[in-house]
């Protein structure tokens, strides 16, 4: 029986397969995604080229193609021009046929020309990696067979299927369909699980779509992004430099008035502001109104109960039936309607175009005065909290 250069127990081969696959995952999330597509960090040339070489061996993906397709996804997200939106194409199509959607878009020269700027174009890329992108996969097969014998074919198969299945399928599919959301952005992105390990942190997809240019994908203290952990290790030893991470809101209790610093904090941390508003105002008021509601009126009770999720949800993501349900609930409850209107007005502060910081400050002052005048305690408390907002200096 043929044997490879390395003989392992059965569990050893499993560990090897997972370890080799994990290197590919790290290469995709750190090099292709955060470094190349979003320029969220810089990498030492040795690290950058290792990842590029490893991806040539294990995926055959071309850096320019991957970066261009992903940038187009962000630019045209959830529209017919999105290369892989399950909201447009259906979950089944993206989940099980994501690799073919990638190849289809890779053949679109307009996409590559418009979105593929700034990617490697050196001699190796022009002469080897791009024109012979299938050669690396064959070479990887031969290496696996040489090292591990016939079982190497299985190890190679695991390496080949992991990225098409999990990245192209699960992240692009489920990551825009099922999961939880920390931030109500305009697209349907979700965090699949709070532990970004299987796909290097890409599981935290809603966080990523909220802060697309961030090198860090975790947001809550209980979320774990293993790709970010690797980046921090590389930064410590001088192999990487982080350029951007999400802004961090801080509350300075000694600060009790609105100023331009407040404006910068509210605008820069607007997603966190709205997440706090949803938690501290909308959910709190909804809970209080639900306590006062008449449970014997089952229709009104059910209408009111469902309204909480719809109030928090980004309005552009609600279908016609949900809009009707929400409007009906708000018409029956004046307090909830007031809170919802104040949510829309708060969003309107930073949605204004061609305005100065002074105008934004005035708009924020007007919002706070109006919130306090409603007589709703949760709104009054939040208006007071806004006055304390400042952007914390985030150490990377």
Residue pLDDT, tens place only, 223-246: 999 999 999 999 999 999 999 999
- For the chain, give the percent of residues with pLDDT over 90: 86
> With contact defined as beta carbons under 8 Å apart, do 48 and 116 qualify?
no
Give the residue, 167 or 189, on which the prediction is more confident.
Answer: 189
Q: What angle do CA 268, 273, 275 make, to 5 degrees?
A: 130
Do 215 and 294 fall within a single domain?
Answer: no
pLDDT at 141 > cutoff 80: yes
One domain for residues 191 and 282: no
If asked whether residues 262 and 317 sit together in one domain, one would say: yes
Whether residue 1 lies inside any domain: the answer is no
Same domain, 208 and 257: no
Average pLDDT over residues 378-385: 96
Which H or E run includes 224? strand 224-225
Domain check: are 78 and 217 in the same one?
A: yes
173 and 203 in contact (C-beta within 8 Å)? no
Same domain, 341 and 196: no
Q: Are 172 and 302 found together in one domain?
A: no
The pLDDT score that the predictor gives to residue 255 is: 87
CA Rg, the chain, in Å?
A: 25
- 204 and 148 within one domain: yes
Note whether 72 and 156 are same-domain residues: yes
Decide which of 207, 242, 277 is a domain's last residue: 242
Q: Looking at the structure, tell me whether residues 150 and 38 fall in a common domain.
A: yes
CA distance 84 to 187: 13
Q: What is the pLDDT of residue 102?
A: 95
Residue 373: domain span: 251-392
- Same domain assignment for residues 224 and 335: no
Strands (DSSP E) found in the chain: 41-43, 195-196, 224-225, 240-242, 248-251, 389-392
Do both 200 and 301 map to the same domain? no
CA dihedral (303, 306, 308, 311) in degrees, to 10, reads -80
């Amino acid at each position: 029986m043929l044997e490879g250069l390395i003989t392992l127990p059965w569990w050893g081969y499993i560990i090897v397969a997972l370890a080799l696959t994990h290197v590919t995952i790290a290469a995709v999330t750190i090099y292709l995604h955060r470094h190349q597509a979003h320029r969220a960090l810089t990498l030492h040339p040795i690290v950058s080229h290792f990842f590029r070489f490893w991806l040539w061996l294990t995926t055959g993906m071309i850096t320019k193609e991957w970066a261009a397709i992903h940038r187009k996804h962000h630019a045209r997200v959830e529209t017919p021009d999105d290369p892989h939106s399950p909201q447009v194409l259906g979950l089944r199509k993206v989940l099980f046929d994501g690799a073919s959607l990638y190849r289809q878009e890779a053949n679109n020269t307009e996409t590559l020309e418009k979105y593929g700027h700034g990617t490697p174009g050196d001699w190796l890329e022009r002469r080897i990696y791009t024109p012979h992108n299938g050669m690396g996969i064959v070479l990887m097969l031969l290496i696996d067979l040489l090292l591990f014998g016939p079982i190497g074919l299985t190890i190679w198969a695991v390496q080949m299927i992991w990225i098409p299945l999990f990245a192209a399928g699960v992240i692009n599919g489920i990551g825009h369909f099922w999961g939880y959301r920390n931030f109500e952005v305009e697209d349907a992105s979700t965090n699949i699980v709070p532990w970004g390990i299987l796909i290097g942190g890409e599981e935290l997809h809603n966080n990523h779509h909220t802060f697309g240019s961030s090198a860090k994908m975790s947001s809550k203290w209980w979320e774990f992004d293993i790709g970010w952990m690797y980046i921090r290790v590389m930064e410590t030893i001088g192999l990487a430099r982080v350029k951007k991470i999400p802004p961090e809101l801080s509350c300075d209790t000694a600060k009790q008035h609105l100023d331009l610093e407040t404006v910068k904090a509210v605008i820069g941390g607007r997603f966190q502001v709205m997440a706090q508003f949803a938690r501290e105002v909308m959910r709190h008021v909804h809970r209080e109104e639900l306590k006062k509601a008449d449970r014997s009126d089952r229709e009104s009770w059910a209408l009111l109960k469902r309204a909480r999720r719809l109030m928090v949800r980004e309005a552009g993501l609600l279908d016609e039936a949900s809009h009707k349900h929400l409007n009906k609930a708000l018409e029956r409850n004046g307090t909830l309607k007031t809170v919802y209107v104040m949510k829309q007005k708060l969003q309107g502060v930073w949605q204004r175009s061609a305005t100065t910081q002074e105008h934004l400050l005035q708009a924020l002052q007007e919002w706070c005065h109006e919130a306090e005048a409603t007589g709703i305690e949760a709104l009054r408390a939040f208006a007071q909290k806004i006055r304390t907002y400042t952007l914390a200096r985030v150490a990377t």
